[in-house]
């Protein structure tokens, strides 16, 4: 994206944002509430249009929703009148509909819920519902998967399990991932790069050079500290983007 801005009435939410994401990369976007993280994700998804600037996908300006893009929300958004398997089938493109159930079942196996295929969403735990939502997002083999704080409502242990599952499936499928989160630890655990948005601009673009799978050791804590220290500087009037590779 080049000099992307977004304004709602008199409020400028994003201002001259420049951001490049490579194919297959995992990027986490962090920042305080109201900083523009989710707005940026909606622009990337094609769900909204920028007020200024241009977003490109494969060197082509973004114009609406791309069929190779999926988004996973904090709320699983499962249809209560459909079984787990049928909810996952919703994510299969129409031209692949003939093999929908087989594909859906295969992805349910990947998220560890094949034995719940005939259950109703109402009997699942919060973590299981999010696994179904993840399967629904993956079943169409997207090139770009967007995560809008999908783990925010989960308990700590379930959240860590889901982080490991997302990382494993990202490495297995090779899609590009963009995660919006309030949780700096989650960002460091999952991302190749962590981008901090402050006052509508990119305040930090930090490459996480830790080996995978991530271990929560002193190196992990070092990256957490770098990001949190930058967040605490957000009361400064002037923000200069910073890039680090350590």
pLDDT digits (tens, 9 = 90+) for 87-116: 999 988 775 666 888 999 999 999 999 999
The pLDDT of residue 231 is 87
Chunk the chain into consecutive blocks of 10 residues (it has 246) and report each block's average pLDDT, rounded to whole numbers: 85 90 96 88 91 88 86 94 95 74 94 97 96 96 95 92 96 96 96 94 95 94 95 62 49
Could you give the angle at the alpha carbon of 167 between the alpha carbons of 45 and 215, nearest 5°?
135
Task: Return the domain boundaries, the chain.
Answer: 1-16+26-68+142-234, 79-140
| Residue 145, beta-bridge partner list | 70, 177
Asked if 214 and 224 count as a contact pair (C-beta separation under 8 A), the reply is no
Threshold 0.95, pTM exceeds: no
The pLDDT of residue 41 is 93
What burial class does residue 25 get, using C-beta atoms within 10 Å of its C-beta: 0-12 exposed, 13-18 middle, 19+ buried? Answer: middle
Give pLDDT tens digits for 140-152. 999 999 999 999 8
CA 246 to chain centre: 24
Asked if 55 and 62 count as a contact pair (C-beta separation under 8 A), the reply is yes
The pLDDT of residue 238 is 46
The pLDDT of residue 241 is 54
Does domain 1-16+26-68+142-234 fall under CATH 3.30.1340.30? My reply is no
3-class secondary structure, 110: helix
């Amino acid at each position: 994206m080049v000099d992307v801005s977004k304004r709602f009435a008199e409020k400028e939410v994003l201002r001259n944002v420049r951001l490049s994401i490579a194919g297959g990369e995992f990027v986490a976007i962090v920042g305080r509430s109201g900083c523009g993280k989710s707005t940026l994700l909606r622009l990337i998804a094609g769900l909204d249009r920028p007020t200024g600037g241009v977003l490109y996908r494969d060197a082509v300006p973004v114009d609406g929703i791309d069929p190779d893009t999926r988004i996973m929300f904090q709320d699983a958004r499962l249809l209560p009148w459909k079984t787990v398997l049928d909810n996952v089938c919703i994510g299969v493109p129409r031209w692949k509909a003939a093999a929908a159930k087989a594909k859906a079942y295969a992805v349910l196996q990947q998220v560890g819920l094949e034995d719940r295929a005939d259950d109703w969403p109402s009997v699942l735990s919060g973590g299981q519902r999010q696994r179904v939502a993840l399967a629904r997002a993956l079943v169409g083999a997207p090139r770009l998967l967007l995560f809008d704080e999908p783990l925010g409502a989960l308990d700590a242990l379930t959240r860590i399990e889901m982080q490991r599952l997302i990382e494993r499936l990202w490495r297995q499928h090779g899609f590009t991932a963009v995660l919006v989160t309030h949780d700096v630890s989650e960002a460091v655990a999952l991302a190749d790069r962590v981008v901090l948005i402050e006052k509508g601009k990119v305040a930090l673009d930090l490459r996480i050079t830790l080996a995978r799978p991530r271990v929560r050791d002193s190196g992990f804590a070092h990256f957490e500290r770098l990001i949190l220290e930058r967040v605490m500087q957000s009361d400064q009037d002037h923000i200069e983007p910073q890039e680090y590779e350590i």
